[in-house]
Amino acid sequence: MEAALKEWLKEKVSAPRYRHSLGVLDAACELAGRHGVDQAPLKIAALVHDSARELPFDEMVALAEQWRLPVRDVDRIAPVLLHGRLGLELVRREKGVEDPVVTSAVLYHTAGHPEMSLSDKVFFLADHIEPGRSYAHLKQLRAAAFDDIDQAMLMALDINRDYLIGKGRPVDPDSLELREALLEAEGPDLG
């Protein structure tokens, strides 16, 4: 399945995004090993997660509507938020991939979600720390991802939020809800 999906993905995205996906695959395996989650579904998720990322934005909305996928108001403002859901639907239709662990990892990889599993968090962070990435705080995020996954999630969400606000783009409400849930789980700030 892995080899067939690599060929499938190569047809769908540019060479840099293909390389990114292989980087995510490696990072997901490493991080999954560290946190004791199953690597196999995350390898599949790596090859699926950005498969629809290079579709034109107006096509993303049209395709989601055509396939009767949920389209929120924020997805119409920022259609890129649909790319995980669309990639998943593509692989479901074209390759018959239906695994629930793959599904949630792919669905939640862009914005996160308050109900993410440990496996979903591993995948979300793998997407952020794969070897091809470069941005401020990457080193700290990498270290945190191997040390304390929820702390790393909070860091990644803050990095994403600051980036989006800086660009004048909307922040997915699922990200904000996840952030609240993680902060709540951390307990009261007694500082």
The residues binding Fe ion (CB under 5 A) are 50, 127
In the three-class reduction of DSSP (H, G, I as helix; E, B as strand; rest coil), residue 134 is classed as: coil
Number of CB atoms found within 10 A of residue 103's CB? 21
| Nearer to Fe ion among residue 28 and residue 101 (C-beta) | 28
CA angle 70, 13, 54 (to 5 degrees): 45
Number of CB atoms found within 10 A of residue 164's CB? 16
| Nearer to Fe ion among residue 50 and residue 120 (C-beta) | 50
| Nearer to Fe ion among residue 54 and residue 180 (C-beta) | 54
Q: 136 and 124 in contact (C-beta within 8 Å)? A: no
CB of residue 52 to Fe ion, shortest distance in Å: 9
CB of residue 24 to Fe ion, shortest distance in Å: 6
| Nearer to Fe ion among residue 6 and residue 183 (C-beta) | 6
d(CA 55, CA 38): 30
CB of residue 123 to Fe ion, shortest distance in Å: 10
CB of residue 128 to Fe ion, shortest distance in Å: 9
